[in-house]
Amino acid sequence: MKFEVLSRELIKPYHSTPQSLRDYTLSLIDELLPPMNLPTILYYYNDNLSSSSRCQHLKRSLSKVLTRFYPYAGRYIKESFKVDCSDQGAEFVEAKVDVSLDDFIGQTKNLKMELLNCLLPRPIGAVDGVTDPLLAVQVCAFACGGWAIGILTSHRVADMSTSSTFVKEWAITAKQLLSESFDECHDFPVSSWTSASLFPGKKLSCRPLGMPVAKENFEYHKIVTKVFSFKQNSISRIREMARLDKSSERLPSRVQSVIGIIGKAIIDIHVVADPGNSKEFLVIQTVNMREKTDPPIHKNQYGNLFLVSTAPIVASEGGVELDSIVDLVTRAVRGEVENCKRILSVGGEMIISDGFDVLTKALAEPEISSNLVFTDWCKFPYYEADFGLAKPVWISGINSPLGNNVYLFSDQYGEGIEAWVNLSANDMRKFEQDLNIMEFST
């Protein structure tokens, strides 16, 4: 496979950011988060546009939408814990690859996940430098006319909910421009970037992850990524198995049931490898706080607005039971939802800092098997991202350098769940042979 970058440029907001918004101060959550970019790749079949016309369309609409997502066009100033929103621009990369989209997707789903990283404009660890963009996109044309758009948004200023809203708004803008129905008033107010007023920063330094930054190193890390698809009927069966009270009609959620079956398999690997003593694990899951606070934070509020739930799991020589781990994870998430209700009152900063201390330690030491981090992106409507050309045929993550991490995406039809599991090579071989994983996933 031959991959080639054709051009690289900066796209500035269509309207200049007002002087009053040029200094964007980080929130407490922003400061505590690990330095990394959040990756998403969207794939599209041939839309009969030339690659040049398509990229011009995407550049024009990106410029328009950056006006209201103005921090994405700025640069982070580490020393002052601020983003300089002087419209330096988002990075836009054009590339091409000499294989068809179907062949490429077939390869990556079966074996060569590292190929996905070529579709990103830069590594996920290339952040916080004075010249690092906070938003970077790469549009890659396949030999068949299909294309993919790899999107990186800096976790320094926003979470995946914000990234998802950005992609949604970009697609809406692009579709309107293509039909010449663009409305300059189609906008969320720029005041949506106000998370620092809710959770003022303390100028705290985040923990480094030690992720490779250079792209040539990034592509050859030791973590193996594989996708495990859980279809609707399999999820229904797992939910039945995961019910702690068998006499109750109430079932655990779809997501927490899948987390349970995956978490059990990973935990059992380490219990079997060293059966002499009981072991403690932490199952970590992020919780979006939007619409859960009192008063409610709007669902389209931008920034980093989530908490971290931690479920301690004690596994004996026999491993851990599915219903037990799902119950503990469910209780932990419910606890953080309750915390959301009081997080805007006195003491909210302690709720934030306690949870993020656990998360950053887990991510900084990804080879420690006692920490399992799950991130649920199932509800984000990436499959609706129609830039006026077509809806995507697949949404993917990447070959992540962070071990013991699992990212959950909804499938194309919104019925199943695709789990992107990132483990060491040795653990992945054992994980694939787990009887529950073999039975319930494809």
Three-state DSSP at 277 gives coil
Is 186 one of the annotated active-site residues of the chain?
A: no
- Of 155, 159, 376, 427, the active-site residue reads 155
Beta strands, E only, 172-296: 223-230, 279-288
Structure tokens at 171: 């697609």
Task: Specify the residue for token string 């830039």.
Answer: 387
Residues 6+ apart with CB under 8 A from 25: 81, 82, 196, 201
Is 386 one of the annotated active-site residues of the chain?
A: yes
Residues 6+ apart with CB under 8 A from 245: none
Our CA dihedral for 219, 225, 231, 234, rounded to 10 degrees, sits at 180
Bridge partners (DSSP) of residue 225 are 422
Backbone angles phi, psi at 383, to 5 degrees: -70, -5
Structure tokens at 216: 């040539």
- Of 84, 103, 386, 411, the active-site residue reads 386
Residues 6+ apart with CB under 8 A from 151: 39, 40, 41, 42, 135, 136, 137, 163, 167
Q: Which residues are catalytic?
A: 155, 386
